[in-house]
């Protein structure tokens, strides 16, 4: 069997769809189908059940997938060790960042990466947190900062800190809403991020916990914009506590409810031992003062 067959097996197993896997692997669908069929013939087992809805692992496929992933991880370790023998680390990484740069310390991370690995190129891509996690899972990004509780077996996580969110209102509304109920607050306009974002998921979690369903909302795709709109008296929002503090009195906190979620550095688990990923993980850990051990799966949703 060939390593490319195992990579194809792993990708189809993850995506559950031949066409999407072929696009990711940059091969034609017939070629990918032939690779899977060749592997099945060599192993003398059916790895997938094929249907109009996609590709589902058989019991044999589920049993053999971990071994295939182990082989692919060993290949990456071998390549990494060989690369290190050549001296200075070289390569190019696509790093995702979320929210504002101060939150993720991305400038400090890049400064230290440049100092330690001058031949390692890092392209930075701003993304909504939920999109960033999906892009890491799909291989669009090599790694990313992420806040939220999404979890997937293929994604490893290096925890950095906890983020606390509170319900923020314009300071000018404080007297009017001092004794307001959650039902009354739900009647106010809410400023929300897009549904794909972690911020939106956290707000929805809050609504469910309080038994409310705000009907009016304004959408903004960046927390800095959300903060400025609240400060301008345009609505209520779930907002990071540090942004409330930075508003210099323009924003007040409603009630004492807090929503807490982790901030982490995430990357594909199969690339744990890639020299570039390992180097970036160590730089991030150093910038944050945390241990750079192997990444754990992101915490499952509460």
Q: Domain ranges for the chain, please list them.
A: 3-84, 89-161+263-288, 162-260
pLDDT band (50, 70, 90) for residue 301: very low
Q: What is the pTM of this model?
A: 0.70
Across 230-250, b (16+ Cβ under 10 Å) vs e yields bbeeebbbbbbeebbeebeeb
Q: What is the pLDDT of residue 189?
A: 95
Closest to 123 (Cα-Cα) out of 143, 139, 102, 103? 143
| DSSP H or E stretch at residue 24 | helix 18-25
Q: Please tell me what DSSP assigns to residue 281.
A: H
Across the range 119-138, mean pLDDT stands at 92
**CA–CA separation, 67 and 156 (whole Å):** 18
The whole-number average pLDDT for the span 275-302 is 77
CA-to-CA dists, residue 197 to 6, 254, 302, angstroms: 33, 23, 17
Residue 52 in this model has a pLDDT that exceeds 90: no
Cβ pair 260, 299 in contact under 8 A: no
* Residues of the chain above pLDDT 70, percent: 94
Predicted pLDDT of residue 302: 34
- Whether 253 and 166 have beta carbons less than 8 Å apart is answered as yes
Which of 267, 266, 237, 273 lies closest to 253, judged by CA? 237
Asked if domains 89-161+263-288 and 162-260 share a fold, the reply is yes
Fold of 89-161+263-288: D-Maltodextrin-Binding Protein; domain 2 (3.40.190)
Average pLDDT over residues 254-259: 92
CATH architecture of the domain 162-260 equals 3-Layer(aba) Sandwich (3.40)
Architecture of domain 3-84: Orthogonal Bundle (1.10)
Place of tokens 């903060």: 227
Q: What token pair was written down for 100? A: 């504002």
């Amino acid at each position: 069997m060939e390593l490319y067959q195992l990579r194809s097996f792993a990708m189809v197993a993850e995506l559950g769809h031949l066409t999407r896997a072929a696009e990711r692997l940059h091969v034609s669908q017939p070629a990918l189908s032939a690779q899977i069929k060749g592997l099945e013939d060599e192993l003398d087992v059916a790895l997938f059940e094929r249907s109009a809805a996609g590709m589902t692992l058989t019991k044999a496929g589920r049993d053999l997938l971990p071994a295939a992933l182990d082989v692919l991880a060993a290949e990456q370790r071998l390549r990494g060790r060989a690369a290190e023998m050549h001296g200075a680390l070289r390569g190019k990484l696509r790093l995702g960042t979320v929210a504002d740069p101060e939150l993720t310390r991305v400038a400090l991370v890049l400064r230290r990466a440049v100092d330690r690995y001058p031949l390692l190129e890092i392209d930075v891509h701003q993304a909504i947190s939920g999109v960033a996690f999906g892009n890491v899972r799909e291989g669009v990004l090599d790694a990313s900062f992420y806040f939220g509780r999404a979890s997937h077996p293929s994604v490893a996580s290096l925890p950095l800190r906890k983020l606390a969110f509170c319900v923020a209102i314009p300071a000018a509304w404080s007297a009017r809403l001092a004794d307001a109920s959650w039902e009354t607050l739900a009647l106010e306009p809410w400023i929300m991020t897009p549904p794909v974002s972690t911020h939106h998921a956290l707000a929805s979690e809050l609504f469910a916990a309080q038994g409310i369903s705000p009907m009016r909302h304004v959408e903004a795709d960046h927390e800095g914009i959300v903060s400025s709109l609240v400060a301008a008296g345009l609505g209520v929002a779930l907002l990071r506590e540090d942004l409330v503090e930075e508003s210099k009195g323009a924003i007040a906190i409603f009630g004492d409810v807090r929503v807490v979620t982790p901030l982490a550095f995430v990357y594909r688990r199969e690339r744990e031992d890639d020299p570039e990923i390992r180097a970036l993980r160590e730089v991030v850990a150093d910038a944050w003062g945390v241990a750079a051990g192997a990444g754990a799966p992101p915490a499952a949703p509460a």
